[in-house]
């Protein structure tokens, strides 16, 4: 949203997974709520409320950190909040983010009487929002997409690709191994990790092949889903697949995967894309990754694009 004054890290809505591999135990997806911290500083509201002001003029208050009595009543918190809101409005603050731990959930009820609404909730806290500036709220919604990543591991010596059949699907179709990306995890790293967790095969990232966008996805709590397929190069070839997640795992001829009915439309399409790459060169299909410095000091981002032709030397 162009008018949005706040930025949030995109978090998958679901990041849990099953894996029987002892060396890759399922990891907890509980991560702390992350906002852009650049140029923030302390500000003190009246009463017991203190918060951080960001560079956009919003105040973030974490009730777990400000020393409220554990037995504070709704009415007492309401009075403290009202005093702080009056001060922040007078100072020209544009919005307030209120992080409420579940142990102080009564404070959320009190905040609602001052116009706060829920923004999102996680395991042990909820975040409420209140727009203080004039006009319609320009605060962004919480993460609306989950990011799924699969790895098409291609053995260029024989034209085979690593595929699995999911145990928990109603139809046993061949597909590329993959799963949901963890917060802060690069796409290529997700593909390599998921391939190993499901199949036992080590691989390395080579390129991005395709992106599928789907809305109202039943596996994403009705939200939107981005499904990304990467091309990987195998480093090992022996299969030791996770029997909790996979029913079968094989090295399958790309030509067979492109034609069989025992696959998904996207897997068949990508198989044909990979066959084209084998015949004409992967530079014809690859979106390679380049890491570039971001405008934020000390940060980098990954840019995926077709490779540019080499620049001829100057004479």
From 194, 197, 198, 245, the catalytic residue = 197
Place of tokens 């790459």: 277
Distance CA 147, CA 169 (A): 19
Would the CA dihedral through 297, 302, 304, 309 be positive or negative? positive
Q: What are phi and psi of 296, to 5 degrees?
A: -80, 130
With vertex at residue 208, the alpha carbon angle to CA 162 and CA 6, rounded to the nearest 5 degrees, is 130
Q: What is the DSSP letter of 171?
A: S
Q: Is 279 a catalytic residue?
A: no
Q: How far apart are CA 175 and CA 249, in angstroms?
A: 10
DSSP codes joined into one string, 116-168:
-EEEEE-SSEEEEEEE-SSSS--PPP---EEEEEEEEEEETTTTEEEEEEETT
| Distance from C-alpha of 99 to C-alpha of 210, rounded to nearest angstrom | 38
Which residue's entry shows tokens 């983010």? 97
The C-alpha atoms of residue 101 and residue 195 are separated, in whole angstroms, by 37
Q: How many CB atoms lie within 10 A of CB 162?
A: 25
Catalytic residues: 197
């Amino acid at each position: 949203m162009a008018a949005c004054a706040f930025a949030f890290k995109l978090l998958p809505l679901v990041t849990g997974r099953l894996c029987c591999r002892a060396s890759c135990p399922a990891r907890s997806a509980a991560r702390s709520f992350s906002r852009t911290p650049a140029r923030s500083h302390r500000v003190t509201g009246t009463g017991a409320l203190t918060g951080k002001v960001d560079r956009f003029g919003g105040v973030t208050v974490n009730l777990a950190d400000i020393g409220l009595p554990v037995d504070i009543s709704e009415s007492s918190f309401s009075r403290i909040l009202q005093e702080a809101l009056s001060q922040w409005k007078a100072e020209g603050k544009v919005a307030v983010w209120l992080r409420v731990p579940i142990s102080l959930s009564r404070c959320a009820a009190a905040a609602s009487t001052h116009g706060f609404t829920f923004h999102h909730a996680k395991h042990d806290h909820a975040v409420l929002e209140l727009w203080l500036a004039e006009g319609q709220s320009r605060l962004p919604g919480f993460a609306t997409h989950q990011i799924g990543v699969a790895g098409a591991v291609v053995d260029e010596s024989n034209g085979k690709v690593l595929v699995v059949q999911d145990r928990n699907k109603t139809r046993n179709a061949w597909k590329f191994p993959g799963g949901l990306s963890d917060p802060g995890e690069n796409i290529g790293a997700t593909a390599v990790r998921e391939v190993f967790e499901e199949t036992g095969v080590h691989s390395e990232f080579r390129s991005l092949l395709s992106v599928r966008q789907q809305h109202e996805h039943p596996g994403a709590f009705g939200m939107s889903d981005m499904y990304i397929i990467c091309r990987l190069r195998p480093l090992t070839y022996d299969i030791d697949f996770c029997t909790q997640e996979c029913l079968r795992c094989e090295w399958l001829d790309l030509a067979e995967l492109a034609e069989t009915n025992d696959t998904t439309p996207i897997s068949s399409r990508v198989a044909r894309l990979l066959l084209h790459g084998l015949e004409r060169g992967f530079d014809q299909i690859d979106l390679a990754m380049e890491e570039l410095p971001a405008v934020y000091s000390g940060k980098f981002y990954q840019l995926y694009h077709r490779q540019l032709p080499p620049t001829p030397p100057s004479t």
